[in-house]
Amino acid sequence: MVLEVTSKIVQIPAGPAPRQVEPGSQTEQAPPSAVLHLAPEEMHGFKFLTISVAPRPTISGRPPPATSMAVGQFFNPDEGKLEYSPASMLLSIHSYKDIFLKEDHPLAFNLSFAISLGLLPVSFSLKTAGCGIKDSALLDEAGDTGNTKLCKLRCFPPVALAWDPTSGLHVFPNLYSETLLVDSSPALWTSTGTEKTTVLLLLDPHCAYKASIDVSVTTAASRFSLLYFSQIVGFCVAVVFFALMRQAHARPIPSILKAVEYNLRIPFPFLPFVLVPILFSMFFSFLSSQPFPPFSSFTIVSIICYLLANGIVILLILVSQLVFYVAAYLHVSIKSRWQLWEGNFGLLFLQWFMNLSSRFLSLKVVRVLRANPLFVPISAAIILSTFVHPALGLFILLLSHALRCHSSLCNSLTASFRSNALKKESDYKTEDDYSSQQFKPKPGSPSKENSSSYIQTQEDIFHTRHGLLVLHLLATLMFVPSLMSWLQRIGMHQSFPRFLDSFLCICLILHGIYSSESLLNSELPFPHITGKEVRLNSIYLIAGFYSYLSGMALEPYKVLYAMGAVGIISFALSVLQAFTGATRFGRRRHWHRH
């Protein structure tokens, strides 16, 4: 009886079997070329199994080769089961144990990894420890090196078949030292079913092996960043929105770095920021009748991505803050020394330059521009975003943020230096003078309370602008790939930017211009819509949750919609204030401390 089993064979890519040079000589064993799965009902009634392999058709006119016979070996799939739990896989990063397989072991080993190899690739190393020639005289003559060569000839090369529910079958022939990796994307919102990876390892039963399996940290890190880069980008924007929410809620306004650090406090507010969007994603999956992702792995990976996003944002804040403080300190130091030289030496060139500067600043056009400092950057940014490229308009917005940050920080440092100088001057008074009368500042100099209030005002402006700068810097970086491709097409066919891109960038510009003042006043009135006052921190909270969900859906570009929505709200309320004369963002800010 002949049974056709071609459809039940899984081919293994392998080279041709080595030729035997001399009759009876020892040659290298051919590796497995296919795996055949037969059910018990298909084997019923057979006493033995003969596998016939048909020759390939030829068109050279020569007679076809004779039908060859294949050599098969049975194995029980239930034998050789090894399971790797998540704990054992994670512990293998620091320490791993060698696995010794003696001779007459099962032909196939079923390795089950609880965490998908698409998320945690493993490094597999296999060495031949013996091949049944321990008592042979050939071993004494050849030594360890000869033993390895002889065993390589006697044992067929090991083969691994990795099965992943998402990506299917992966074959690893000649497996001696390899990183087992499958092309899958586990722990995503769209992931379904189990995420285990099963590896079928085929080894020569006549040989002994020494194997080691450990998680490859470098490969896992690169794989993680590749799979979840879009998710981390969306989470970065969510982190900044949550920090802006904290700035809009607290008084005095904290720095953007302190706001991010405060949001990392456990259990509150860290857990609500992380778990509420995950619960929303489960609810949306239920409404759309989509299968739920694995909750444990989905939650753990989302938390890791959120922590990485916080780290990236903190690093970005620290670098930009260092640049601002160094530039402001140098500016204030040089300016103070410049004024000192002017008072001591009375340089003619310096006086001529100052007179020329005063004449230039007295021009009508310059006076109009100084009275409306945002007119030029707004106009330039909108024109570039509409007719050239959106990223160029965002660069102008970033430059405006940087200049405002630098100016407010310089004012704060200057006032702080003056306050310290007045304090030192008061300390130099004698004890008699100090006991008889208190120090009185010179006419026209700011008092101690006014100086501290002014310093606090400038620090609040700096913190506000710095937070918006970080947010819009992330938005600008998202347009950099498009800008690079646009630069490569210069001189070729040019067209205007897409309307949606230009519109989003204009909304970002409006957000950067009008939201800076809104952070100083935390309430937004909507009397014609809800009849209640909606706080600005609530709007930033909603935008942060939307950005978080966009990151989990691997659609980070949608965070631009949240930025644009906040910009439109700020601009609409500014127009509402212009027509009604009402306070734009609720109650006025009181700069003194209560």
State the pairing for strand pair 81-84/108-113.
Answer: parallel
| pLDDT bracket for residue 353 (50, 70, 90) | low
pLDDT tens for residues 166-180? 788 888 888 888 999
Contact 152, 28 (CB under 8 A): yes
Q: Are 54 and 5 in contact (CB under 8 A)?
A: no
Tokens of 431: 């004890």
List Cβ neighbours of 589 (8 Å cut-off, separation of 6 or more).
Answer: 520, 521
Using a pLDDT cut of 70, give the percent of the chain over it: 70
Correct CATH for 70-133+143-215 of 1.10.3470, 2.60.40, 2.40.10, 2.60.120: 2.60.120
What does the pLDDT average to over 388-409? 92
What are the beta bridge partners of residue 68?
53
* Alpha carbons 413 and 314: distance in angstroms, whole number: 23
Write down the pLDDT at residue 318. Answer: 97
Would you state the pLDDT for residue 222?
92
Residue range 305-322: mean pLDDT, rounded: 97
352 exposure class (CB count in 10 Å sphere: 0-12, 13-18, 19+): exposed
Could you say which DSSP state residue 399 is in? H
> pLDDT tens, 261-275?
999 999 999 999 999
Q: What is the pLDDT of residue 204?
A: 85
Nearest alpha carbon to residue 390 among 503, 512, 515, 230:
503
Mean pLDDT confidence for 198-206: 88
Predicted confidence (pLDDT) per residue in 441-490, tens digit = 444 445 555 778 889 999 999 999 999 999 999 999 999 999 998 888 87
Sign of the torsion formed by the C-alpha atoms of 222, 109, 139 and 72: negative
Sign of CA dihedral 133, 138, 144, 145: negative
Q: What pLDDT band is residue 80 in, cutting at 50, 70 and 90?
A: confident
Beta bridge partners of 36: 9
CATH code 2.60.120 region(s) in the chain: 70-133+143-215
Q: Provide the mean pLDDT of the chain.
A: 79
**123: Cβ contacts below 8 Å, ≥ 6 apart:** 177, 178, 179, 180, 213, 214, 215, 216, 219
Residue in 158, 134, 156, 159 with CA at minimum distance from that of residue 147: 134
- Token pair for 410: 């310089």
Q: What is the pLDDT of residue 123?
A: 92
pLDDT digits (tens, 9 = 90+) for 88-105: 998 888 887 788 888 888
Own/partner contacts of 398-404, CB < 8 Å, gap of 24 or more, are 398/469, 398/472, 398/473, 398/476, 400/374, 400/512, 400/513, 401/465, 401/466, 401/468, 401/469, 401/472, 401/512, 402/324, 402/469, 404/461, 404/465, 404/516
Of the candidates 265, 246, 248, 241, the residue with the CA atom closest to the CA atom of residue 313: 241
- Residue 83, strand partner residues: 112
Residues 6+ apart with CB under 8 A from 552: 188, 189, 231, 234, 277, 278, 281, 302
pLDDT score recorded for residue 363: 61
Query: Span 54-66, mean pLDDT?
Result: 60
Closest residue by Cα to residue 327 from 402, 389, 251, 273: 402
Summarised one tens digit per residue, pLDDT across range 290-299 is 888 888 889 9
- Cβ contact 99:213 at 8 Å: yes
Q: Which of 565, 465, 572, 566 is nearest to 520 (CA)?
A: 465
Q: CA 433 → CA 428, 436, 440, 478, distances in Å?
A: 10, 5, 12, 63
Q: In which band, very low, low, confident or very high, does the pLDDT at 196 lie, cut at 50, 70 and 90?
A: confident
Instruction: Report the pLDDT value the prediction gives residue 594, as an integer from 0 to 100.
Output: 40
Query: Per-residue pLDDT for 125 more than 70?
Result: yes
Q: Give mean pLDDT, residues 529-536.
A: 57
Q: Are 582 and 311 within 8 A, CB to CB?
A: no
In the chain, the amino acid numbered 341 is W
Residue 321 has pLDDT above 60, yes or no: yes
